[in-house]
Each structure stands twice: as structure tokens, then as C-alpha cells.
Amino acid sequence: MSRLTPTLAIAGAEAFPGLAADLRGVLTGGVPTSALSWGKRALDVVGALFGLVVLSPLMLVIAVLVRLDSPGPALFRQVRLGRGGRPFWCLKFRTMATDAERRLREFEAMNEVGSGVLFKIRHDPRITRLGRFLRTSSLDELPQLLNVLYGEMTLVGPRPLQLRDSRRLMEFAGPQFGRRLSVTPGLTGPWQVSGRSRLDINDMLNLDIKYIENWSIICDILIIIKTVNVVLSGRGAS
């Protein structure tokens, strides 16, 4: 799989033609910078390497099951926005049919999220049988350990949103959206350990901004521990 850095021109050529220009407007509006702590990066590298080594047998099994469950590749990559609005390929185990992104507009009217910023359908017909379990257990996100190792993501931080959600969040709350982009996006974050699907978009924003303003290594370690508990219990999953 090629790791060439995507561009917003490619990522949003049809569905999001003006996102790159609008994004520049948000980012030049005083987005604060946040120096990447060596301690945080060390935690990321050690944690990602440890996770990949320990979980590689499980990841191999999941990859095989995904291929057997439905036609298509085991891995799925999607353009997300990283620190400073820089696009990157976010990796996941595929949980939907291969034409899922193309069919997104068909289901917009069925969106169950009140604000319309995030897109979520409880019984999304595009999700495969195995995909539903992978999403509930969060196992579909294990390949993002590679994103962490590459430095495109961090173990703990605001979750990177798909372009459709980024566009709407930028329109809904531009300054807060820009603030989220001032740091590296995370594999897990305060939203994931505080209820996920039970919280609305304002809750997500408040939790993310509070995390950014009060970040510490101890905070990251506690969120990682809470994430393990949430994954094992399935609490807050959609």
C-alpha cells in the first residue's frame, strides 16, 4: 500500500471541492501551535511498537476474516486531517462494503446525529456482518498503530474526522475546529472514554479543548487505561 501523502485536491475533488480553501481560512485565523513533547512522542513510539508486536497475531486473524466475510481488501484507508490541517491516510480494517463512500449521499437523510455534523446510522446497511463487531469492539482501529508509529497520529488526542464531518464541524464551530487541528490527532481521546455515541458534538468539542489545554503524560496514560476498559466492556460503542 502506497504511503504517498494525499492532498485535499485529490481527497475532496468531487464531494468537498472547497474544503482546502476554507481550511486555509480557519488555519490562518490564529490557530495556536502546540510543541510536540519528546515524552509524548516517546510514549507513542513505545506504545505503538508494543501494541503491534503483541497484537500482530490478532490483527492477522482479523485481516483474514475480513477477506472471508465480504469481497474487498482487508485494510481500508481514508483521508483525514492531521495537525495543522495536513491530510494523511488513516488506516482501518474494512468494516463496510467497498462502495460505502460512494453511497454516503444516499443515506444522509437517515443520519441519527441531531447536529448533522457527524454521520451515524445505528443500522447502517453498508456495514458488513464482521464489520459491526469490529466497530463495537473498536478492533477496526488497530491498524492506526501504524499511523502513530509514522507520526501522523498520536496514541491520545482528538480523533481525526472524515472530510465530510470536518467540513460540517468547520461550519458549525470554526474556532474550536481550528483548535482541534492545532495538535496531532489521536488513536483514542477523551471523547472515546466518556461515552462516545452517547455524547453530542458540543460535548466532543468541550472534551477535546479541555484535553488540549490541560495535556500531560499522566493524562495520556490514564486515558489509555480507560480506553482498554471501554474496549473490553463495549461501553459507549455505536
- Measured CA to CA, the distance from residue 205 to residue 222 in angstroms comes to 20
Q: Which pTM value belongs to this model?
A: 0.83
- Measured CA to CA, the distance from residue 48 to residue 27 in angstroms comes to 29
Cell of 118: 457527524
pLDDT tens for each residue of 15-62: 455 565 566 656 544 444 444 578 899 999 999 999 999 999 999 999
- Measured CA to CA, the distance from residue 49 to residue 148 in angstroms comes to 9
Closest-CA residue to 161 (of 136, 186, 131): 186
pLDDT confidence band for 12 (50 / 70 / 90): very low
- Measured CA to CA, the distance from residue 163 to residue 168 in angstroms comes to 9
What does R_g of the chain's alpha carbons equal in angstroms?
17
In the chain, the amino acid numbered 184 is: T
- Proportion of the chain above pLDDT 90, given as a percent: 44
pLDDT tens for each residue of 58-109: 999 999 999 999 999 999 999 999 998 899 999 999 999 888 888 777 777 6
**pLDDT confidence of residue 194:** 82
pLDDT tens for each residue of 166-187: 888 888 888 888 889 989 999 9
Residue-level length of the chain: 238
User: Please, which residues have CB within 8 angstroms of residue 72's CB and are 6 or more apart in sequence?
Assistant: 94, 97, 98
